[in-house]
Amino acid sequence: MRRILYLEPVGGIAGDMFLAAGLDLGISPAELERALSGLRVPGWKLAVSRAVRHAISGTHLDVVLDAREAHPHRAYADIRRLIEEADTLPPRAKERALAVFRAIGEAEAKVHGVSIDDIHFHEVGAVDSIVDICGAAVVLELLGNPEVHAAPPPLGSGTIRVAHGAMPIPVPATLELLRDVPVRFEGVGELTTPTGAALLKVLAHIGHPPDFIVEKVGYGVGTKDFKDRPNVLRASLGRLEQARNEGLWVVEANLDDATPQLLGHLLERLLAVGALDAWVTPVVMKKSRPGHLLSALVEGGTREAIVDVVLRESTTLGVRYHRVERQALERDWVEVETPWGKVRVKRGLRQGAVLNAHPEFEDCRQVAEAAGVPVKQVMAAAVAALGPKD
């Protein structure tokens, strides 16, 4: 059963709001602190309380430092080492936290025109931000690693003072992080922080959610109190509505700049994540360019995972999908004896009658190699060994 977490940044999103929403869904603060205890950063603790914004009650969270942090500016390599050496963080949480910091580093590097190794994190390098980002990765682990979807975040407007001086809202790093995904230019003040933007970009599919059954709802309450909207992040946790996603789908994308190596890798990845079949068809595209049509036949429950692979790992800017109907033969396996050994044969049946039979190639190849005979000879013997009813 696929689990779904749908995030609605009603009043924006920040790292502490993500953690607070997770706690409001039922995660134990003690469990979260235990998973984060391996981070070798100055003393901190989570302060959890109830708060209300515009008559909406939820969980508020502060990362409280025991003492003033001595080194708020950290290089990307330093933060990466902190996360890698945290022995209490689950492996998948480490990967997610590292990916979030990598995304922030790349955005900052592009904005400032330097390499990522020359980036020194200011606000995001502080203890509370490190706890927020690693904590968000742990929250997903404790929620059972649901598939995360999010509504387009509101970015806000105005100016804000940061380590580099006065900046427009959204700050350049936030806007760079959210390139190529839907956003909303609305609201006053900083509604979406760089940390919040990075969490959405790396961990979530931003756009329309799949149809799913909501089982729990949590509200992460932010620190600010906006006049025009409640400063809350709503998180709905549930399971996929199978009835609306059942059946078969064909997922397709046109590619005019993919190498043969990339196409082969894509087919392998699509099959690995659950495609029933995947294929590449030569096509002629606009401006008479030769290209390829990448296609996959998938069950409804794996459609989103397949779409994600195509968007993340191919060169396409979009994916199409449509329902299809299929009439398939019943299938079973029988084992036959050849002069060189046993071979499995896959049969296709309809109403009990065998319409097709094909020897399993890998079985034939292994038998042929062991006996030193041609594969085609073993295959022919396997077919000949089938009885009249086969």
| Mean pLDDT value across residues 266-284 | 95
**Token pair in block for residue 367:** 């038998």
What pLDDT is recorded for position 122? 60
| Mean pLDDT value across residues 361-388 | 92
What pLDDT is recorded for position 43? 83
Contacts 24+ apart (CB under 8 A), 327-335: 329/355, 329/356, 333/360, 334/386, 334/390
Q: Where are the alpha helices (DSSP H) in the chain?
A: 15-24, 29-36, 76-84, 91-112, 127-142, 172-177, 194-203, 242-245, 260-272, 303-313, 361-371, 375-384
Per-residue pLDDT band for 325 (boundaries 50, 70, 90) equals confident
Residue 149's DSSP bridge partners are: 6, 205
Evaluate if residue 7 carries a pLDDT over 70: yes
In this structure, of 111-120, 133-142, 358-367, the range with the lowest mean pLDDT score is: 111-120
Helix axis angle, 127-142 to 76-84, nearest 10°: 40
Evaluate if residue 243 carries a pLDDT over 60: no
| Mean pLDDT value across residues 21-39 | 96
Per-residue pLDDT band for 123 (boundaries 50, 70, 90) equals low
Per-residue pLDDT band for 172 (boundaries 50, 70, 90) equals very high
Say how far apart CA 298 and CA 159 lie, in whole Å. 47
What pLDDT is recorded for position 390? 60
- The mean pLDDT value of the chain amounts to 91
Q: Which residues contact residue 263 at a Cβ distance below 8 angstroms, ignoring those fewer than 6 apart?
A: 255, 280, 292, 294
- C-alpha distances in Å from residue 306, one per residue of 148, 279, 302: 15, 13, 6
Overall residue count recorded for the chain in this entry: 390
What pLDDT is recorded for position 210? 83
What pLDDT is recorded for position 242? 57
Residue 346's DSSP bridge partners are: 333, 358
Q: What's the pLDDT tens digit per position in 70-94?
A: 446 678 888 899 999 999 999 999 9
What pLDDT is recorded for position 124? 54
Asked if 269 and 235 count as a contact pair (C-beta separation under 8 A), the reply is: no
Evaluate if residue 189 carries a pLDDT over 70: yes
**Token pair in block for residue 109:** 């590097």
CA 65 to chain centre: 32
| Mean pLDDT value across residues 96-119 | 88
Q: Tokens 């696929």, residue?
A: 2
Q: Tokens 């509504």, residue?
A: 151
